[in-house]
Amino acid sequence: MLGLSLREVSAALKQGQVSPMELCQKCLSLIKETKFLNAYITVAEEKALKQAEESEKRYEKGQALGVLDGIPVAVKDNFSTAGIETTCASSMLKGYIPPYNATVVQKLLDQGAVLLGKTNLDEFAMGSGSTDGIFGPVRNPWSYSKQYREKRKQSHHRADEDSNWLITGGSSGGSAAAVSAFTCFAALGSDTGGSTRNPAALCGLVGLKPTYGLVSRYGLIPLVNSMDVPGILTRCVDDAAIVLGVLAGHDPKDSTTTQDPVGPFILPILRDVSKLCIGIPKEYNVPELSSEMQAFWSKAADLFASKGAKVVEVSLPHTSYSIVCYHVLCTAEVASNMARFDGLEYGHRCNVNVSTEAMYAATRREGFNDVVRGRILSGNFFLLRENYDDYFVKAQKVRRLIANDFVKVFNSGVDVLLTPTTLSDAVPYLEFIKEDNRTRSAQDDIFTQSVNMAGLPAVNVPMALSSQGLPVGLQLIGRAFSDQQLLTVAKWFEEQVQFPVIQLQELVDNCPTFSQHEKLGLVSLKRNLSKTKDWRYYGESKRKKLGPCRTNTFSQIKIKTNFTSHFGF
């Protein structure tokens, strides 16, 4: 049941195969059992149950609010939630309970969605690993998947060695882990430089960064206002489209949202891709890209070509400047946005009371981690009168060049760009923390960042498992406000590649639905890997019904309470 798609679980709720309360309780107990993933910062159990109860009443009266009524969702802990602590994984906001809901949160609730809790992240969303928050790192559920463990066994690693757990990517790692581990059906992330797409790629999820201005930022605690977009993490493209349909549209509280009508985001089934032109930006073929990832990328391109799409190499010449440009613009806005955290109106306040200035200094020193403080410092440096033209103004010009690169490519007839999302599959935590946050962020956002500079829609679509048994995703980038078209192509791609479902041991043991899926998934995976040369193999009718989100079985999953012990916790 927990592995169903939104449409399926919605149908199950309507047909009474499961009640909102049952669904909510199942998710809540799974959250408890997967606590070691550290996906959630706050679990709003009482509130969630109350929402589920209300939803149940609505279903009983036949007055369901919408497609999300009764469906458990999770929200990254940098979206304001009325009455629920919102921390941004920072000491600065520990204990801060917003008095209002972010527009996107309100829209989910208005649809009857059940908000389970707030998910973990890097402090103030500054990071690419979900490792740098005060609540500790998030663990990638794939660390505990059968697929990964078996591969490790084959390569003579000890399967149970626990120190090798993997990062989720970030900064929306908590949301990614929550969806990936089936604790909720969809989650909100935020995406400033790749923070939704990156963890989606590493956790085998669909991660959508909508066009800037399509979805309201009101209530999203900002990282970079001019690049932030609420992101959507789901297990399939259709689910992302459904959530986007709920969230998209003008918000009078966010002046940067479009005033044009949007949606509906109902995705047609694309049968013919021959009119499609796929661009492959040559500058994305960087030396740091793992050879395996590169291989998947070119196979994906071949797949499009083999189905009749026009695949062309294109150039985005200013790509290499995007990291440094982003560094300046991001830190400048961070310096500005973080100025409000002074301990006066809300949030952490130190005990120093010598003077207002001393209080500010101590509050901010105590409240922010090194990463945040470092960015504030750089940002203020770039904004100094004598530096402004040399850094900020230049960076803005470069940003314009980067955005123009995309415009030119799309004007040349390209419909969608196909790129890798990450340099490689997920790395172990111990590996990841060898480099500092800045280095990591600079490396990991390389394929995702420029999209934010240009405000374009982009989506990570999981493609296959790597040789390590870990998810690999590719990024599709569309024209501004062509989110629907982008998702339609993404859906076609998803259908073609049949990404396998994660096999979490316990779920396999206890759930016939999952075991069936996973067995099939595993079979298909093995076949995929053995046939990696022949991408035309994908998309044949045989496996079309075996996708992770497509099942007709609504039998309930019984999850043993000792779920965690199987993972050595």
Partner 1 sequence: MAAPILRCARPGRCWSLDYRPRRSRALFAEPVPGRVRGQSSAAAQEPRPGAHEWAAVVGLEIHAQISSNSKLFSGSQVTFLAPPNSLVSFFDASLPGTLPVLNRRCVEAAVMTGLALNCTVNKKSLFDRKHYFYADLPAGYQITQQRLPIAVNGSLTYSLGVGAQWSPSATKTVRIKQIQLEQDSGKSLHDDTRSQTLIDLNRAGVGLMEVVMEPDMSCGNEAATAVRELQLILRALGTSQANMAEGQLRVDANVSVHHPGEPLGVRTEVKNLNSIRFLAKAIDYEIQRQIEELQNGGKILNETRAFDEKLGCTVSMRDKEGKQDYRFMPEPNLPPLILYDAESLPVAADPQQVVNIDWIRERLPELPSVTRGRLVEQYGILPEHSFVLLNEDGLLEFFQTVMKETRAEPKKVIGWILTIFLGYLKQRNLAVSESPLSPSSLAELLNLLDSKVISLPAAKQVFEELWQNQGKTPGQIIREKKLELLQNQEELEEICQAVLAKHPQQVMAVKNGNQKVVNKLIGIVRRATGGRADPGRIKQILEKQLQ
510-529 residues in contact with partner 1 (CB under 8 A) are none
3-state SS of 115-157?
A: EEEEECCCHHHCCCCCCCCCCCCCECHHHHEHHHHHHHHHCCC
Nearest distance in Å: CB 401, partner 1: 18
Tell me 167's DSSP state.
Answer: B
Q: Which stretch binds partner 1 (CB under 8 A): 25-33, 69-77, 255-263, 306-314?
A: 255-263
Neighbouring-strand partners of residue 475: 419, 460
- How many residues lie near partner 1 (CB under 8 A)? 47
Nearest distance in Å: CB 289, partner 1: 32
Residue from the set 93, 121, 454, 456 that interacts with partner 1 by CB under 8 A: 93
- For residue 403, the SS3 value is helix
Nearest distance in Å: CB 552, partner 1: 41
Residue from the set 282, 358, 388, 523 that interacts with partner 1 by CB under 8 A: 388
Nearest distance in Å: CB 453, partner 1: 13
- What does residue 190 show for φ and ψ, rounded to 5 degrees? -130, 155
CB nearer partner 1, residue 105 or residue 244 = 105
- Residues 536, 359: Cα–Cα separation, whole Å: 64
CB nearer partner 1, residue 224 or residue 461 = 224
Residue from the set 98, 173, 199, 281 that interacts with partner 1 by CB under 8 A: 98
- Residues 183, 198: Cα–Cα separation, whole Å: 20
60-79 residues in contact with partner 1 (CB under 8 A) are 79
CB nearer partner 1, residue 80 or residue 120 = 80
320-359 residues in contact with partner 1 (CB under 8 A) are 332-333, 335-336, 338-342, 344-346, 353, 356-357
Token pair recorded at residue 460: 């990570």
- For residue 1, the SS3 value is coil
Contact call for residues 455 and 211 (beta carbons, < 8 A): yes
Token pair recorded at residue 111: 């649809």
Element (H, E) at 208: strand 206-209
Contact call for residues 254 and 268 (beta carbons, < 8 A): no
CB nearer partner 1, residue 77 or residue 506 = 77
Is residue 261 within the footprint of partner 1 (CB under 8 A)?
Answer: no
Q: Which residues are catalytic?
A: 76, 171, 195
Nearest distance in Å: CB 386, partner 1: 9
Q: Which amino acid is at 358?
A: A
Determine whether 170 is exposed, middle or buried from the number of CB atoms within 10 Å of its CB (0-12, 13-18, 19+). Answer: buried
474-493 residues in contact with partner 1 (CB under 8 A) are none
Sheet hosting strand 114-119, strand order edge to edge: 40-43, 114-119, 72-76, 186-191, 229-234, 206-209, 458-465, 471-477, 416-420, 277-281, 310-314
Is residue 253 within the footprint of partner 1 (CB under 8 A)?
Answer: yes
CB nearer partner 1, residue 69 or residue 342 = 342
Is residue 385 within the footprint of partner 1 (CB under 8 A)?
Answer: yes
Nearest distance in Å: CB 539, partner 1: 42
**Contact residues for partner 1, defined by CB under 8 A:** 79-80, 86, 88, 93, 96, 98-100, 102, 217-222, 224-226, 252-256, 259, 332-333, 335-336, 338-342, 344-346, 353, 356-357, 360, 380, 383-385, 388, 392
